[in-house]
Structure 1
Amino acid sequence: MAPHKLCMIPGPIEVHEDVLQAMSTPATAHVDPKFVPIFGESIELVRKVVLTETAQPFIVSGSCTLGWDMMVNILEQGDEVLALNTGYFGDHFSECLEIYGAKITTLRAEVGSRPTNEALKEALKEKKYKMVTVTHVDTSTGVLSDIKSIAQTVKSISPETLVIVDGVCSVGSEEIRFDAWGLDVVISGSQKGLGVPPGLSVVVVSQQALDVFKNRTSPVVAYYSNWKKWLPIMQAYESRKPAYFATPAVQLIYALHTSLKLITSEPMEVRFEKHREVSAKFRQTIRDLGLKPLAQTEESSANGMTAVWLPEGIEVPQLVPALAGKGVQIAGGILTGLAGKYFRIGHMGISVMEPERHHIDKVVEVLSESLKELGYKA
């Protein structure tokens, strides 16, 4: 790959050369006999990434946010939703669901923390919820939610309640065991842990959630995101048959297929552990520099990104350009009211799985240099 500024934000992430090459496929019809099995196998490979045998993946052209909109398929007017909130994206997921008629009850934690299991239990005993939503990794804070424990608690108290996971910044970098943990929906997209340029919404849906969709009593108030349109398409391509509702992003699906083949070429456990190892080492480096992550504990720290409080006297408009000038792109904060007080760095995908690229080493080097040049003394 030609020398370029490293994209080390929490997504989009650096993309493997083979994935970029796959995107250079010439103009190809979405019903081409060579493309149909590529799309079909991509659907199957998504299952392997989230460790499910029976769930239904949807791969649809659009941003990750389209996955939020797809929840219109299982929501009806007035449905009660319990939202576990760990930051900016939890707020906006709830905003999306309210548009489709959901009545939201929010369990919110202080910045850098997550709602407790005890608070979840109490909330579940107070009323019946159609679904519980949780952001697995809120990209605004780098807080990791314990979706295994959340799902166990929800299903033990209310088996009918659906567990909806915003996995945009977790699929491909965090441990997700869809079947074993009893998850119902995982929402993601192409540009983070799956290591593909932006443009694909990837949503995985349990049979329980599909039954809720099929047995709803009112029409789905959406057209493009309607599973009645998309389910036959996914089933057709997986059966290696062409079908049409809206034109898929052919070149992006070629890229996704290539990346999924790379990801699943070794057990997912290897990928989970490598991200845990690299992120723990990176956070320790941050502490050694005298800085402090937003996530308050190791257990609540994401493995694909880290948000870091800025030291006294240094501002985002100073630090971000300083690193960019040395060939590394990082991100400022986005949490309402605190955006200017911290910065964010991504560490997922090939930057983690292929250490010979020295992406993380480069980040540490230029971050240390830039802080020093800006007058910071650890």
Structure 2
Amino acid sequence: MSSQNPVFIPGPTNIPDELRRAIDLPTMDHRSSAFADMLHPALAGIKRVVKLRDGEAIIFPATGTGAWEAAVTNLLSPGDTVLAARHGMFSHRWIDLCRRQGFNVEVIETEWGLGAPAEALGAALSADKAHKIRAVLVTHNETATGVRSDVASVRKALDAAGHPALLLVDGVSSIASMDFRMDEWGVDAAITGSQKGFMLPAGLSIVALSRKAIAAMATSTSPRCFFDFKDMLKSNASGGFPYTPPVSLIAGLAHSIRMLEGEGLENVFARHYRIAEGVRRATRAWGLALCAKSPELYSDTVSAIVVPANVDSTRIVTHAAEKYQVAFSVGLGEVAGKVFRIGHLGSMSDVMALSGIATAEMAMVDLGLPIELGSGVAAAQEFYRTSTSNRQTRAA
């Protein structure tokens, strides 16, 4: 596949040339003060991105899955009960991880295409008079279905039930691309990775912790070593790492945050909304629908597009890769063969998105889908050329 073409998968995302240069570093002594000068800005920047004022940010050499495991093993003990909704492949995988770690998971089965059901979660919390549920797991952006969950509503359900459970949120495919308000939403652990909105290669798992979460570390008895928060926080305080750090990626993370803040976080979020809305308008012009059931659920980082019942969506992805050397994503789990996914997060512009829309359109026409060539491109073009600011975009 040509490295000249952008990818349209929901991670790893396209890496800007500026960031490639930032991670191209010679070997350095990671015990030196130079590393501390690199690490501390990265940790402080994570807190600004997730809007956390009083708490801690932690980086491990891993991916988002490592951040999942680190969060639950540092904050919970074997046998603890957690509450989660299963409404996509990544919420499913987090549930599976928790069960493998020895936690009891109460699962609320939810239709794929819907978000975390705040009302049902609230009812389960209200029924838990003994407060056996120690944590609620929420996938902010379900990458498999292109669905955004309302984290604030889940927090309201927790508060209405008067329940002390921790709120743990997977923001892997949302943080740094979509607005995330850790303090305002009462999130206790926010989880992400380097390869999505931060536009870096895979290799960093990122966790932000509230003070309540930090206090919960004192009672956790889950076994851990590599992912131990206490070891990491102790070492970080003096500018170090408890083992060899991924120096280049940490340097890249600090630089990525400078780029995001240079653009302005609100502008970053508006750009993602605008690009996503162009893809959504193209989808409607094709006569197709999104997997997400209603507009308030639409993700601004990935669109899962439902194909006609007689079409295997995997063929579209395979054909685009083989003929046009452009990468889209297949459907996963319950929507395998039913949707294909266009990732539009991280380093992405209107012009790049148009090339992806055009390629998807060509692939579908090649395979005989009843789509008029140019229809989706024209719909997206009309939106992009008239929508340039946050205000204009939201009003459109």
TM over 0.5: yes
- After superposition, residues 241-280 of structure 1 pair within 5 angstroms as 243-280=240-277
Look up the match of 1:105: 106
- 186, 189, 209: which is aligned to 2:190? 186
Look up the match of 1:302: 299
Cα shift at 1:266: 3.9
RMSD between aligned alpha carbons? Answer: 1.7
In structure 2, list runs of 5 or more residues that go unmatched. 372-396
Report whether the alignment pairs 1:376 with 2:377: no
Change in CA separation of 1:114 and 1:171 when aligned onto 2, cut-off 3 Å: same
Report whether the alignment pairs 1:161 with 2:159: no
Look up the match of 2:327: 329
Q: Is the 8 A contact 1:84 1:132 kept in 2?
A: no
- 357, 360, 366: which is aligned to 1:364? 357
Letter in structure 2 aligned against 1:314: V
Tell me which moved more, 228-237 or 252-261: 228-237
Superposition misfits of 4+ residues, deviation over 6 angstroms:
none
Q: Is the 8 A contact 1:78 1:103 kept in 2?
A: yes
Q: Is the 8 A contact 1:107 1:115 kept in 2?
A: no
1:269 & 1:102 partners in 2: Cα distance? Answer: 38
Letter in structure 1 aligned against 2:42: S
Letter in structure 1 aligned against 2:330: G
2:262 & 2:328 partners in 1: Cα distance? Answer: 29
Cα shift at 1:119: 1.4
- After superposition, residues 160-239 of structure 1 pair within 5 angstroms as 160-214=164-218, 216=219, 219-237=221-239
Change in CA separation of 1:322 and 1:178 when aligned onto 2, cut-off 3 Å: same
1:194 & 1:257 partners in 2: Cα distance? Answer: 10
Change in CA separation of 1:231 and 1:361 when aligned onto 2, cut-off 3 Å: same
1:143 & 1:15 partners in 2: Cα distance? Answer: 24
Look up the match of 1:240: none
1:291 & 1:16 partners in 2: Cα distance? Answer: 32
Q: Per the alignment, in what secondary structure is the counterpart of residue 172 of structure 2? A: coil
Between the two proteins, what is the percent identity of the paired residues? 28
Larger fraction in helix? 2
Report whether the alignment pairs 1:293 with 2:290: yes
Letter in structure 2 aligned against 1:286: T
In structure 1, list runs of 5 or more residues that go unmatched. 238-242
Q: Is the 8 A contact 1:75 1:101 kept in 2?
A: no
Q: Per the alignment, in what secondary structure is the counterpart of residue 264 of structure 1? A: helix
Report whether the alignment pairs 1:37 with 2:37: yes
Look up the match of 1:123: 124
Letter in structure 1 aligned against 2:156: Q
TM-score between the two structures when normalised by the length of structure 2: 0.88
Q: Is the 8 A contact 2:144 2:304 kept in 1?
A: yes
2:264 & 2:279 partners in 1: Cα distance? Answer: 23
Q: Is the 8 A contact 1:155 1:161 kept in 2?
A: no
Q: Is the 8 A contact 1:75 1:100 kept in 2?
A: no
Change in CA separation of 1:278 and 1:317 when aligned onto 2, cut-off 3 Å: closer
Cα shift at 1:126: 1.0
Letter in structure 2 aligned against 1:335: G
Q: Is the 8 A contact 2:314 2:331 kept in 1?
A: no
Cα shift at 1:4: 1.3
Letter in structure 2 aligned against 1:97: C
1:264 & 1:277 partners in 2: Cα distance? Answer: 18
2:161 & 2:113 partners in 1: Cα distance? Answer: 27
Cα shift at 1:99: 2.4
Cα shift at 1:168: 0.7
1:228 & 1:3 partners in 2: Cα distance? Answer: 41
Cα shift at 1:108: 2.2
Look up the match of 1:281: 278
Letter in structure 2 aligned against 1:328: V
Q: Is the 8 A contact 1:9 1:329 kept in 2?
A: yes
Q: Is the 8 A contact 2:78 2:222 kept in 1?
A: no
Cα shift at 1:34: 2.5
2:115 & 2:314 partners in 1: Cα distance? Answer: 29
Q: Per the alignment, in what secondary structure is the counterpart of residue 351 of structure 1? A: coil
Cα-to-partner distance string for 1:198-236 (whole Å, 9 max, x where unaligned):
00000101110110112x0x6331111111211112222
1:58 & 1:275 partners in 2: Cα distance? Answer: 26
1:176 & 1:317 partners in 2: Cα distance? Answer: 32
TM-score between the two structures when normalised by the length of structure 1: 0.92
Cα-to-partner distance string for 1:265-307 (whole Å, 9 max, x where unaligned):
2432222222222212211211111111111111111110011
1:313 & 1:347 partners in 2: Cα distance? Answer: 27
